[in-house]
Chains A and B, each alone.
Chain A
Amino acid sequence: MKYAWKEILYGRKKYILIELLLILLMFMVLFLSGLASGLGRAVSSAIDTMNADSFIVDDSAEQLITVSSVGTQVLDELRSAGANAAPLDIQRMYIIKDGDDEKLNMTYFAIEAGSFIEPETIEGTGLAASSADNPILLDDDYKLEGISLGDKVRDSSTDIEFTVVGFVDDRMYGHTSVGYITTDSYTRLRKALNPMYVQSYHAIAVRGSADYDFAGNGLELVSKHEIIENIPSYSAEHLTITMIVWVLVIISAVIIGIFNYILTLQKQKQFGVMKAVGMRNSELAGMVISEVLIISVFAAAVSLVLTFAMAAAIPEKMPFYLEAPDAVAVTAAFVAISVPSSMLSVVNISRIDPVKAIGGGEE
C-alpha cells in the first residue's frame, strides 16, 4: 500500500487524468442513480408512502388501480369480517386555482376521511376535521403554484369547488402531484360527469391480512410492491435507468483495470527486476491491487462529495432523489468491482520471467 501510494504520487500527472475520467463517470453514475429514484418516486411516492400493505383490484385490471373496479359490497363484507380495509379511487384530472385560468395537473386520491390511508399533514388539518363541503389535501408542490391554505380550487371539467384544508409532503403518482379528496366528493364529481354513475371503488387498500374469496369474486389481492411495478412507465423508466447505472459502474471499474494493465505492460522490465531480486508474486499483486484500490476509492469519494454538493443546489422541481445508502452502495460496488478488474495485470505479472533482468539491455 505504502509503495503503491508513492508510485501514484510520483506519477501523479498521469494518475490525475485517469482520476478525472473516473470521477466524471462516477458522478454521472450517481447523478443518474439519483434521477432513477427521483423519477421512481415521482411515479409512485403516493402509493409507496401509503400506510397499506396490499390492494384489492379486479382480476382483469392487470394490477393497475386506475382501470380496476371493485363493488362497494366487498368493502362492507371485508369490514364485517374484521379486516382493516379502506376504499381508494385514483383519477387523473385538472384543477384550476380560484381567480386564475391555468389548468394544473392533478391526480385525485379519493379516500374515506379519517381512514388509515389518509396521509399526515405537514400543514393544516386532516379531511375529517374540516367542515368544508369538499375538502382537499394537496401535495406541497402546489404551493409552488401559489396555492395556500384556505384557497379554493376548481375541478376543471365539473367546476366542483374544493377547499384546501391541508398540505402533505412528497405525494406523487404517475408524474403528477396528488390531491386527497373524500370518497363523497369523488362520487359527486363522477355524478356531475355522468348522472348514471353507480358507485364502486377502483381498489380497496388493506392493512394486515384479509380473509376473503378473492378469486371466486373476480378479484385479486396484490402487494404494494407489485402495484408500484405495474404503474405505467414505472418499470420502463426505473429499470432502464437502473440498468444504465450498473452498466456504467461496471464500465468505470473495467476502465481502471485496463488503465492498470497498460501501466503494467509498460513496467515489464521493472517487474522482471523485482522478481529477480526475490520479490514474491503476492507482493507485486498486492502493490497492483493497492494501486487500483487507491484510485477507485479516491474517485468514489470525490464523486460522492460532488454529487451531494450538487444535490443540495438542484432545483426542488427536478426529480432528483439520492439517498446516502444508495449512493454508498453504488460507489462501494464500483470499488469492489475494480479489484477483480485488476486481475488481468496480476496474471500478466505472474507470467513475467525474471531471467530477462540479467544481461539487460540486450533485448
Chain B
Amino acid sequence: MSGILLELKDICKSYRDGSEERVILDGVSLAVGKGEFAAIVGPSGSGKSTFLSVAGLLLTPDSGSVLIGGKDVTGASKGERTMIRRRQLGFIFQSHNLLPYLKTADQLAIVQEKPMREKVSVDELLSELDIADCRDKFPAKMSGGEKQRAAIARAFVNDPDVILADEPTASLDAQRGRLAVEMIRNEVKKRNKAAVMVTHDNRVLDLVDSVYRIDGGKLLKERFE
C-alpha cells in the first residue's frame, strides 16, 4: 500500500507499577492512508493516549515499529523526533493548549517553519475554520469552540502528513464538539492527510472513515468503509 502515511506495527508498551509490569499495548498494529480519518475508542485507562503518544513520537515503544510517511522512524534520535513532530505531524490536544500571550495568527506563525509560509497560508486556514475574525484576538477573548478551532488550524500549519487528535471534543459541548470534528474531517479530506482521533464520544463516529476499539491491550477494527 503506497498511500499509507502512518503505520504502527506490533507495538508493545508496558508501565512498571511498583513491582508489577502493566501491559498497556500488547502487539498493536494500525495503518492509516492518505485522506483517511480514523477514530480510536475505548474505556478510560485503556491506553488510547499511550497509543497516540507512541504514534506521535513522544513515547518510545518497548517493541514494534513506527513508520511515518513510509519511513521507519522507530530508532530516530531525540532531535530527529522533534523535527518529525514539527514537520510531519500535527497535534490537537484535549484542551486547546494555546499560548495565552499570542493572538491567533501568531499562535500559528510561531510553530510554522519558514519554508511553509509560501505553501500554507495562515489566513486561508483561519477562514476555512471559520475563525478569520479571531485572527487578532488573544485566547482569553475567544470562546471554547473558537480556541479549539485555532488549535486545529495550528496542527495543519506545517502541511504535515499525519494529524493526531487526543479527545479534541472533551472540553466542548456536544454541538461545538461535533463542529470541531467536522472541521478536522474537512481539512483532512481537502489536504489529503491521514488522521487518528482518540475519542469516547460515540456521537461523532459517523464523521470518521474507520473506527478501532482498544481494550485489554489489543486494537480491534470495528468499522471500515
Query: Chain A: residues with CB nearer than 8 A to chain B?
Result: 3, 6-7, 9-11, 269-270, 273-281, 354-355, 357-362
- Residues from 31 to 61 in B contacting A, C-beta threshold 8 Å: 49, 52-53, 56, 58-59
Do B111 and A358 touch (CB < 8 A)?
A: no
Known contacts: A3-B106, A277-B91. The answer to whether A355 contacts B53 by CB under 8 A is: yes
Query: Chain B: residues with CB nearer than 8 A to chain A?
Result: 49, 52-53, 56, 58-59, 79, 82-87, 89, 91, 93-95, 97, 99-102, 106, 110-111, 138, 154-155, 158, 166, 170
Taking the closest CB of chain B, its distance from the CB of A2, in whole angstroms, is 8
16 cross-chain CB contacts under 8 A:
A3-B110, A10-B101, A274-B99, A274-B111, A276-B93, A278-B85, A278-B87, A278-B158, A279-B110, A357-B58, A358-B49, A358-B53, A358-B93, A358-B166, A359-B94, A361-B95
Do A277 and B99 touch (CB < 8 A)?
A: no
Cβ of A270: which chain B residues have Cβ within 8 Å of it?
97, 99
A3: nearest chain-B partner, CB-CB? B110
Known contacts: A278-B89, A360-B95. The answer to whether A355 contacts B58 by CB under 8 A is: yes
- Name B154's contact: one of A7, A275, A277, A358 (CB within 8 Å): A277
Cβ of A357: which chain B residues have Cβ within 8 Å of it?
58, 91, 93, 97
Taking the closest CB of chain A, its distance from the CB of B67, in whole angstroms, is 18
Closest 5 A-B residue pairs measured CB to CB?
A: A278-B86, A359-B49, A10-B101, A278-B85, A355-B58
Do A6 and B106 touch (CB < 8 A)?
A: yes
Main secondary structure of the interface of A (DSSP, over half): helix
How many residue-residue contacts, CB under 8 A, span A and B?
82
- Name A280's contact: one of B82, B158, B166 (CB within 8 Å): B82
A360: nearest chain-B partner, CB-CB? B94
Question: For the complex, what is the distance from the CA of A254 to the CA of B89, rounded to whole Å?
Answer: 39
Cβ of B91: which chain A residues have Cβ within 8 Å of it?
276-277, 357-358
B157: nearest chain-A partner, CB-CB? A277
Seed contacts A274-B99, A280-B79; 12 additional CB < 8 Å A-B pairs: A3-B110, A7-B99, A7-B101, A7-B102, A277-B85, A277-B111, A277-B154, A277-B155, A278-B87, A355-B59, A358-B58, A358-B93
B48: nearest chain-A partner, CB-CB? A359
Cβ of B79: which chain A residues have Cβ within 8 Å of it?
280
Do B95 and A358 touch (CB < 8 A)?
A: no
Cβ of B158: which chain A residues have Cβ within 8 Å of it?
278
Do A6 and B82 touch (CB < 8 A)?
A: no
Cβ of B106: which chain A residues have Cβ within 8 Å of it?
3, 6
Cβ of A279: which chain B residues have Cβ within 8 Å of it?
82, 86, 110-111
- Name B56's contact: one of A3, A276, A280 (CB within 8 Å): A276
Cβ of A10: which chain B residues have Cβ within 8 Å of it?
100-102, 138
Known contacts: A6-B101, A358-B58, A358-B166. The answer to whether A276 contacts B85 by CB under 8 A is: yes
Cβ of A277: which chain B residues have Cβ within 8 Å of it?
85-86, 91, 111, 154-155
Cβ of A273: which chain B residues have Cβ within 8 Å of it?
93, 97
Question: For the complex, what is the distance from the CA of A270 to the CA of B96, rounded to whole Å?
Answer: 11
